[in-house]
Amino acid sequence: MRPLLVIAAPILLAVLAACGDGEEDRISPTSTAPAPTETLSVENVPTPRPGETAGWLIYRNDEFGFEVEYPNDAQQEEGVSTSTFSLQRGSGTVITLPIEEGTNLDAKYLKVSVGEGQRGACEPDEAATRGEGEIAAVSYNGIEFKRTTSLMAASSQLWEATTYWASQGSSCVIMDFVLYSSSPGVVAGPTRPYFDKERETAIFPAIMSTFRWLE
C-alpha cells in the first residue's frame, strides 16, 4: 500500500487559487439556476467502522452552532480563497485531507461554508446547483442533509465534489468534499496511475457521521 500524503499548504493554496477570485464566501439563500431532480426519500448511509473516528480533531463553529470532526493527520486552514464549481467564491475554512501518494490525485479537501438562510431556505448558490447528480436526502446522527455531486474539467485538470447542506434555525451549513486530479501524463516523470476513487472517498461519510448541532 502506498503511504498517505498530506498536500503541503503552498501546493493546496495554488490549487485553490486557480478556482477562486477572493469574493466573500457566504451562503446564498436562494438560487435561480435549474436544480437537479430532488429525491425525497432519505437514503441509508454507511456507518464508520468502530473506532475509526477515535482521537479525531474537532472543527467547531460557535457562531453558527455546529461542530464536525476530522482526521488528526489532516490540516485545517482559515481564510483560504476558493471557488470550486459547487461553492461560493471567497474565503472559508478548508481542511486538507491525506491522499494516497503516487497517483494522479493532487489534492483532497473539505470546504466548510456557513451563512444565514432566509425564511428557512438553505441552498448552495447558483454554481452549486449545476450538479451532475440528483439531489438526495441523507441522514447522519438524525440530521437530514441534502446531497449532490458536481464535476468540472479544465484543460488537463478535474474537480469532483460531493456536497452536503443542512440548516437549523437560521444557520445554514454546506460541507463540500473535493477531489482535484490531473491527467496522469501531465506531471513530468513516470506516468502516474489513476487514483482509487472508492478508497479516497471512503472518509467522506465517516466525517459526516461526526457532524452535530450544538445545544
CATH classification of the domain holding 93: 2.60.120.1690
Q: State yes or no: pLDDT of 72 exceeds 80.
A: yes
Which residue range forms the structural domain that includes residue 12? Answer: 4-213
pTM, rounded to two decimals: 0.73
Q: Which residues pair with 198 in a beta bridge?
A: none
Count structural domains, the chain: 1
- pLDDT per position as a tens digit, 5-29: 444 444 454 445 444 443 334 343 3
135 vs 213, more confident? 213
- pLDDT per position as a tens digit, 26-61: 343 333 334 444 444 566 566 666 678 889 999 999
DSSP codes joined into one string, 144-206: EEEEEEEEEEETTEEEEEEEEEEEETTEEEEEEEEEEEE-TTTSSSSPPPPP-HHHHHTHHHH
Cα-based distances in Å from 6 to 20, 39, 95, 101, 207: 21, 35, 11, 9, 17
The pLDDT score that the predictor gives to residue 182 is 86
